[in-house]
Structure 1
């Protein structure tokens, strides 16, 4: 019997999905599957629910939500034998899109039934994980403002981006990797494990979840006209045309903010404030097993 444990964020996306045990029982026959369902009630609650689920030794833990919920669940499964399933009912759904997991709930459940699995890389920032991307530049401020909107929609994201662009002051950074050292004052400092960041937008279209590398994108301080041009290229998924964008493949990074004592960052679309100014970033190769329709 296959034990499937679902962690559901009931307010993900527009909060209109109805993923209940009764609903799931119509897809997973009794006698072949054991089904448990828990519902998260507040930020980080999915972490506690996942930890409790792990103690029951399920075969798969399925995150039903957006990138934030997926991050909370997946972070508990890194370097374990328990596989991650995803039902993307959030707003951006960047990781699910990269994994070709459809937003249609029935189609996503069909992938859970198939039990096809793939090991993917994981990003690590100090003591926390990311699976899609992280950033220390304007994107951190965008997410901070985005979280203030009652509804997480693409229009809300665009509004947050415009407000952040008007306020953002690039910090000074010293970045070290593979024997190199670079001093930057970046408008955007973006590290990606996946080729999509949500809403079908991408800053790193060539990134791969299973190549053992992280894609680093640095965009230096911009004037108003350059900000408008870059924003347009982001919406068009053509940031590779932007001449001030520098791209690197990295396995480890050390980032120091010499004039700061704290740092704001975003990881998988969630805002964090860290009480230090030195950040270590690394890739953990093939550290998470995910259920997928077919291998990437």
Structure 2
């Protein structure tokens, strides 16, 4: 019996056109295994609505065609069910796809789906919202907010915003409880890593695993501004764990209390949240094709 598969396509993610993508599905998807359909998202959050409707209609596999934000919208509906999730990476960073070894080229990624290789990965929760690759507070959440407002997408736009903001951003005080143990930190940012990287092979926690039932809490301490380029270079060399400015603590249940309400980011998309942040992990909760 053929499986029903729906491709949820974000037409603007990564600044790349995708209106010819259905033609590639018709050419490269194995028609002996799948009955396929493609839909395009029209606004932020639309992917979740399309995914929920598809699940109600008995679709077997939902494929997000876009970046980590699009993946989050679709996966938030698939997580915790027995349905399958696929990814065609078309974002600015493609952090989750890279961590899973999914090809960045769309044709190769479609052909990979034909193999129906299934893995189970963990997911995270952040004040009731789900994330699958990376969440964060502090500087990276600030950059995500600015990036979301920016018309231009892609890595170069993200880097420009980061370098323009770094000199004006100030560290904050955070109280953390990680699996019952308490910590106090002045931090530039705190990243909650399910995978090892933000995207574009920039690894904040080089040994983070998508299926170990743990989250990596990456606390970047205040640093001299001249160190910033070196910290960025460490991410691409997968040596952040050797920096004196970064502390990585693994945990399952995390409470973070901060000085004031501000943005957080979940898989790159910003959300405004309050001063108390409750974070957890759901082990092996998403069936994903890789």
The TM-score range, normalised by the shorter chain, is over 0.9
Alignment of 1:202-221 (within 5 A): 202-221=203-222
1:226-262 C-alpha deviation (Å, 9 max, x unpaired): 43442343354432231121111111100112x32x2
Partner of 2:97: 96
Alignment of 1:61-100 (within 5 A): 61-100=62-101
In structure 2, C-alpha distance between the alignment counterparts of 1:109 and 1:228, rounded to whole Å: 36
Instruction: Pick closer, same or farther for the CA change 1:32–1:249 going to 2, 3 Å.
Output: closer
Say which SS state the counterpart of residue 26 (structure 1) adopts.
helix
Partner of 1:271: 270
Say which SS state the counterpart of residue 80 (structure 1) adopts.
coil
Shift of 1:137: 1.8
Instruction: Pick closer, same or farther for the CA change 1:213–1:289 going to 2, 3 Å.
Output: same
Alignment of 1:240-255 (within 5 A): 240-255=241-256
Instruction: Pick closer, same or farther for the CA change 1:169–1:5 going to 2, 3 Å.
Output: same
Instruction: Pick closer, same or farther for the CA change 1:232–1:115 going to 2, 3 Å.
Output: closer
- Flag as ranges the 4+ runs of structure 1 deviating above 6 A: none
Does the 8 Å contact 1:59/1:82 carry over to 2? yes
Does the 8 Å contact 1:219/1:245 carry over to 2? yes
TM-score (norm 2): 0.94
In structure 2, C-alpha distance between the alignment counterparts of 1:111 and 1:228, rounded to whole Å: 36
In structure 1, C-alpha distance between the alignment counterparts of 2:30 and 2:133, rounded to whole Å: 33
1:170-203 C-alpha deviation (Å, 9 max, x unpaired): 2221100122111112012111000221111111
In structure 1, C-alpha distance between the alignment counterparts of 2:216 and 2:20, rounded to whole Å: 35
- Aligned-residue RMSD, C-alpha: 1.7
In structure 2, C-alpha distance between the alignment counterparts of 1:20 and 1:127, rounded to whole Å: 33
In structure 1, C-alpha distance between the alignment counterparts of 2:36 and 2:4, rounded to whole Å: 6
Q: Which moved more, 1:162-171 or 1:248-257?
A: 162-171
Partner of 2:113: 112
Instruction: Pick closer, same or farther for the CA change 1:149–1:237 going to 2, 3 Å.
Output: farther
1:55-76 C-alpha deviation (Å, 9 max, x unpaired): 1111100000011101110011
Does the 8 Å contact 2:206/2:239 carry over to 1? no
Partner of 1:286: 284
Does the 8 Å contact 1:143/1:160 carry over to 2? no
Number of aligned residue pairs: give it. 289
TM-score (norm 1): 0.92
